[in-house]
Amino acid sequence: MNNITIFIRIEASKKIGYGHLMRTSVLAEELQSRGWPIIFLCNSDPTLLQLLEKKSFSYKILKNKAGSVRDQKDVTDILYESPGNIFIHDNYGITFNYERAVKPFTQLLVAFDDEANRGFLADIIINQNYGAESLQYTLKNKETKILAGSRYVLIRDEFISKRKMRGPKRIRELLLIFGGSDTQGMTFKMLKALNEAAFERNLILNCTAGKNYKGFRKISRLSRIHDHINLHLNVKSMPELMGKMDMAISASGSTVWELLYMGIPSLLIITAENQKMIARNLDKDGYAVNLGWYDKLSGPMIVKEVTTLILDQKKQDRFIRKGRKLIDGKGRARIAQEIIRAIKIR
C-alpha cells in the first residue's frame, strides 16, 4: 500500500485557529509511520507551514479558499495526477457537492467533522468528540463508516509516554491554555480575573500565550510585574508542562482530550460553536466543569468556579479517574486500522 499517497486538505491561521491542523497531523504521523506518503494541501499561513516542516510533512500550498469552486478544481486536478490516492479533509466549507466532484478521483474519501450539520458522501467520517455517537448524519453513501466518540480521540505521540498516575492534591499550579491564537483574548481575561485570588491562595498562574495571542503585550507585562504569573513561550514539550500542572482552564477544543488523558482536573470555556457539545457533555457526565460561552463570563463567576473546584478534592479525583479512563491514547491506531481495512476491500 506504500504506493498510495494520502492528501490532507486543511486550513489554519491565527483567525481560525490551529486545531484542525493538530488533529490531522496526529493521524498523518500514524499513517506515515505505516509507510504511506503524506501531502498536506493547505494555505500559506507561516505558523501552519512551520509546524508541517517541523514534523517533516510534505505540503502543497493552495491559493483558493477551501471548499470554493476553484479549490474544488485545484484539488481534483491534484488527485487526477496521482491515481490510487486517499483524500482526507478537515474543513467545514467542504460540502457534499465538493465531495461528489472529487470522489471519482480518489480510492478513499475521509472526512473529519464535529457537528453533523451537512450532507456527506465520504467513505469514512471521523468525529472524535465525546457524545458524537448520538449524532444523526445525513449520508449520501450507504456504505459510509462513521467513527464517532472518544474511542477515536487523536492524542499526539509525545503525550503517550508522559502520562503518570496522579491523585487529587493541593492545587498550586494552574494552567491557562487557549490554543494557538486565542482570538477572543481569554488568556488576559483569565489573568485579570484570577490575579488577586491567585495571590491570596498562593497559586501560580501558567499561560502558554504566543505572539499571535490577542493582548499579548498585556499578558507579557503582567508576567513581568507578578511573580505568580508565568508566561511560557515556544513550549518545547507540552506534555512535560502539563505534567507539572494541578488544574487547568482551557478552551473546549482538541486540548481538552490531552488534559483528560493526562488526568488534569479542568474548567472548560466554549470559544466556538463546534465546542458547545464537547463542553456540555463532559460537564453533564462528570468529566470537567463547563464555564459556558467566553463572552458570558464575569470575573467573580470565574473566581467562584475555580475556588469551588480547588476546595472539592472528591470532584478532582473523579475528574482524574474518569478522564484517564475515557481517553486511552489508542484512537489514532483505531482510525488507521479502519482506513487500512477500507482500502483492502476496494
0.85 cut: is pTM over it?
A: yes
Collect all residues with Cβ–Cβ distance below 8 Å to 24 and sequence separation of at least 6. Answer: 8, 10, 40, 88, 90, 112
pLDDT, tens digit (0-9, with 9 covering 90-100), for 129-142 = 999 999 999 998 99
Domains contained in the chain, CATH given: 5-154+329-344 (3.40.50.11190), 159-326 (3.40.50.2000)
125: enclosing H helix or E strand:
strand 124-127
Mean pLDDT in residue range 205-222: 83
Report pLDDT for 181.
76
256 pLDDT more than 90: yes
pLDDT, tens digit (0-9, with 9 covering 90-100), for 277-298 = 999 999 999 999 999 999 999 9
Report pLDDT for 170.
85
Grid cell for residue 152: 477515536
Computed over every residue of the chain, the mean pLDDT equals 93
Question: What band does 1 get if pLDDT is binned at 50, 70 and 90?
Answer: low
313 pLDDT more than 90: yes
164 pLDDT more than 80: no
CA distance 301 to 267: 12
Minimal CA–CA distance to 41: which of 1, 81, 96, 3? 81
CA distance 278 to 180: 19
CA distance 274 to 195: 30
162 pLDDT more than 90: no
- Three-state SS at 74: helix
Mean pLDDT in residue range 216-229: 92
Report pLDDT for 165.
67
Looking only at the bridges linking them, the beta strands covering 204-207 and 145-148 are unpaired
Collect all residues with Cβ–Cβ distance below 8 Å to 50 and sequence separation of at least 6. Answer: none
Grid cell for residue 66: 477551501
